[in-house]
Amino acid sequence: MTARILAATAAALTIMLAGGCGGVSDQTYTELEHQRDDVLAWARELSAVASTTLATSPEDATEAYDGVAQKGTSDNYKSYKYDVQADFVTEHQEPLDALHDELEEFSPTFSSNSLRLSHGDLTAFFQIYPKGPGKVGMFVEGPAIEIDQEDMSDWDGFVVGEPVDLA
Protein backbone atom coordinates (compact mmCIF):
# COMPACT_ATOMS: atom_id res chain seq x y z
CA MET A 1 0.00 0.00 0.00
CA THR A 2 2.81 2.42 0.83
CA ALA A 3 4.44 1.76 -2.53
CA ARG A 4 1.19 2.71 -4.30
CA ILE A 5 0.92 5.97 -2.35
CA LEU A 6 4.55 6.81 -3.13
CA ALA A 7 4.02 6.02 -6.81
CA ALA A 8 0.86 8.14 -6.96
CA THR A 9 2.59 11.02 -5.19
CA ALA A 10 5.58 10.81 -7.56
CA ALA A 11 3.25 10.78 -10.58
CA ALA A 12 1.32 13.81 -9.29
CA LEU A 13 4.55 15.72 -8.67
CA THR A 14 5.81 14.84 -12.14
CA ILE A 15 2.59 16.15 -13.72
CA MET A 16 2.72 19.36 -11.67
CA LEU A 17 6.37 20.00 -12.48
CA ALA A 18 5.70 19.38 -16.17
CA GLY A 19 2.91 21.95 -16.13
CA GLY A 20 -0.01 19.55 -16.40
CA CYS A 21 -2.03 20.92 -13.48
CA GLY A 22 -2.59 24.58 -14.16
CA GLY A 23 1.07 25.51 -14.31
CA VAL A 24 2.98 26.53 -17.39
CA SER A 25 5.51 24.16 -18.84
CA ASP A 26 9.16 25.05 -19.28
CA GLN A 27 8.55 24.47 -22.99
CA THR A 28 6.10 27.42 -23.09
CA TYR A 29 8.55 29.70 -21.31
CA THR A 30 11.31 28.53 -23.65
CA GLU A 31 9.04 29.36 -26.61
CA LEU A 32 8.38 32.85 -25.19
CA GLU A 33 12.10 33.43 -24.63
CA HIS A 34 12.94 32.16 -28.12
CA GLN A 35 10.34 34.51 -29.62
CA ARG A 36 11.80 37.41 -27.63
CA ASP A 37 15.30 36.64 -28.93
CA ASP A 38 14.08 36.36 -32.54
CA VAL A 39 11.99 39.55 -32.43
CA LEU A 40 14.75 41.51 -30.71
CA ALA A 41 17.38 40.35 -33.22
CA TRP A 42 15.19 41.32 -36.18
CA ALA A 43 14.21 44.64 -34.55
CA ARG A 44 17.90 45.45 -34.15
CA GLU A 45 18.53 44.58 -37.80
CA LEU A 46 15.61 46.72 -38.99
CA SER A 47 16.64 49.54 -36.67
CA ALA A 48 20.15 49.55 -38.13
CA VAL A 49 18.74 49.76 -41.67
CA ALA A 50 16.31 52.52 -40.66
CA SER A 51 19.03 54.47 -38.86
CA THR A 52 21.26 54.40 -41.92
CA THR A 53 18.47 55.04 -44.45
CA LEU A 54 16.72 57.79 -42.49
CA ALA A 55 19.93 59.31 -41.07
CA THR A 56 18.67 59.19 -37.48
CA SER A 57 18.77 57.01 -34.36
CA PRO A 58 15.81 55.22 -32.78
CA GLU A 59 13.99 57.00 -29.96
CA ASP A 60 11.75 55.70 -27.19
CA ALA A 61 12.50 52.03 -27.95
CA THR A 62 10.48 49.68 -25.74
CA GLU A 63 9.84 45.96 -25.40
CA ALA A 64 6.73 44.21 -24.08
CA TYR A 65 4.75 41.00 -23.96
CA ASP A 66 1.33 42.25 -25.05
CA GLY A 67 -1.89 40.35 -24.40
CA VAL A 68 -3.90 39.34 -27.43
CA ALA A 69 -7.67 39.55 -26.97
CA GLN A 70 -9.36 36.42 -28.27
CA LYS A 71 -12.83 37.98 -28.58
CA GLY A 72 -14.04 41.51 -28.07
CA THR A 73 -12.13 43.80 -25.76
CA SER A 74 -11.60 41.48 -22.79
CA ASP A 75 -8.66 42.22 -20.51
CA ASN A 76 -8.45 38.56 -19.51
CA TYR A 77 -5.82 37.43 -22.01
CA LYS A 78 -5.16 33.82 -22.95
CA SER A 79 -2.21 34.52 -25.26
CA TYR A 80 0.69 36.92 -25.53
CA LYS A 81 3.18 38.07 -28.12
CA TYR A 82 6.48 39.86 -27.69
CA ASP A 83 6.97 43.15 -29.51
CA VAL A 84 9.49 45.95 -29.88
CA GLN A 85 8.54 49.52 -30.78
CA ALA A 86 10.66 52.57 -31.61
CA ASP A 87 10.35 55.94 -33.31
CA PHE A 88 12.61 57.60 -35.86
CA VAL A 89 12.42 61.37 -36.37
CA THR A 90 13.76 62.16 -39.83
CA GLU A 91 13.92 64.91 -42.41
CA HIS A 92 13.75 62.36 -45.22
CA GLN A 93 10.95 63.38 -47.61
CA GLU A 94 9.77 59.85 -48.53
CA PRO A 95 10.88 57.63 -45.62
CA LEU A 96 8.68 54.63 -46.47
CA ASP A 97 9.83 54.59 -50.10
CA ALA A 98 13.45 54.70 -48.98
CA LEU A 99 12.89 51.90 -46.44
CA HIS A 100 11.05 49.83 -49.06
CA ASP A 101 14.08 49.94 -51.34
CA GLU A 102 16.45 48.91 -48.53
CA LEU A 103 14.25 46.10 -47.16
CA GLU A 104 13.40 44.23 -50.39
CA GLU A 105 14.52 40.88 -48.90
CA PHE A 106 11.52 40.95 -46.52
CA SER A 107 8.90 41.38 -49.27
CA PRO A 108 7.68 44.80 -48.11
CA THR A 109 4.16 45.91 -49.03
CA PHE A 110 2.52 49.30 -48.70
CA SER A 111 -0.70 49.59 -46.75
CA SER A 112 -2.13 53.10 -46.34
CA ASN A 113 0.52 55.02 -44.41
CA SER A 114 2.64 51.99 -43.49
CA LEU A 115 5.16 49.54 -44.88
CA ARG A 116 4.62 45.92 -43.80
CA LEU A 117 7.31 43.22 -43.68
CA SER A 118 7.53 39.54 -42.77
CA HIS A 119 10.36 37.30 -41.70
CA GLY A 120 9.28 33.72 -41.01
CA ASP A 121 6.48 33.96 -38.44
CA LEU A 122 7.53 37.48 -37.39
CA THR A 123 5.92 40.64 -38.71
CA ALA A 124 6.98 44.27 -38.71
CA PHE A 125 5.80 47.57 -40.02
CA PHE A 126 7.01 51.11 -40.33
CA GLN A 127 4.31 53.75 -40.05
CA ILE A 128 4.22 57.49 -40.70
CA TYR A 129 2.46 59.46 -37.99
CA PRO A 130 0.03 62.02 -39.47
CA LYS A 131 0.45 64.54 -36.64
CA GLY A 132 4.20 64.21 -36.40
CA PRO A 133 5.93 65.34 -39.58
CA GLY A 134 9.03 63.30 -40.11
CA LYS A 135 8.13 60.80 -37.39
CA VAL A 136 8.24 57.12 -38.38
CA GLY A 137 7.23 54.36 -35.98
CA MET A 138 8.69 50.85 -36.13
CA PHE A 139 6.81 47.86 -34.70
CA VAL A 140 8.18 44.29 -34.69
CA GLU A 141 6.25 41.35 -33.20
CA GLY A 142 5.99 37.61 -32.97
CA PRO A 143 2.88 35.43 -33.20
CA ALA A 144 0.56 34.92 -30.22
CA ILE A 145 1.56 32.17 -27.77
CA GLU A 146 -1.17 30.70 -25.60
CA ILE A 147 -0.60 31.27 -21.87
CA ASP A 148 -3.03 32.37 -19.16
CA GLN A 149 -2.71 35.91 -17.83
CA GLU A 150 -2.13 34.74 -14.26
CA ASP A 151 0.70 32.42 -15.29
CA MET A 152 2.21 35.09 -17.53
CA SER A 153 2.32 37.74 -14.82
CA ASP A 154 4.05 35.28 -12.44
CA TRP A 155 6.89 34.69 -14.92
CA ASP A 156 10.09 36.59 -14.13
CA GLY A 157 10.73 37.19 -17.87
CA PHE A 158 7.47 39.14 -18.31
CA VAL A 159 8.04 42.76 -19.38
CA VAL A 160 5.63 45.56 -20.28
CA GLY A 161 6.87 48.79 -21.85
CA GLU A 162 10.46 48.40 -20.67
CA PRO A 163 13.18 50.41 -22.46
CA VAL A 164 15.24 48.28 -24.83
CA ASP A 165 18.59 48.91 -26.49
CA LEU A 166 18.43 48.48 -30.28
CA ALA A 167 22.15 48.92 -30.86
pLDDT of 3 over the 70 cut: no
What local confidence, expressed as pLDDT, does residue 140 receive? 98
List all residues 6 or more positions away from 158 whose beta carbon is below 8 Å from its beta carbon: 65, 152
pLDDT at 151 over 90: no
Neighbours of 17 (CB within 10 A): 12
- Give percent of the chain above pLDDT 90: 59
Domain residue ranges in the chain: 25-163
pLDDT, the chain, mean: 84
Q: Above 70 in pLDDT, residue 71? A: no
Closest by CA to 61, choosing from 1, 138, 121, 118, is 138
Q: List Cβ neighbours of 121 (8 Å cut-off, separation of 6 or more).
A: 142, 143
- The whole-angstrom separation of Cα 96 and Cα 45 is 17
Residue whose C-alpha is closest to residue 115's, from 132, 130, 134, 101: 101
pLDDT of 10 over the 70 cut: no
The 3-state secondary structure of 35-93, one letter per residue: HHHHHHHHHHHHHHHHHHHHCCCCEEEEEEEEECCCCCCCCCCCEEEEEEEEEEECCCC
Q: Quick one: pLDDT at residue 144? A: 93
Task: State the pTM of this model.
Answer: 0.81
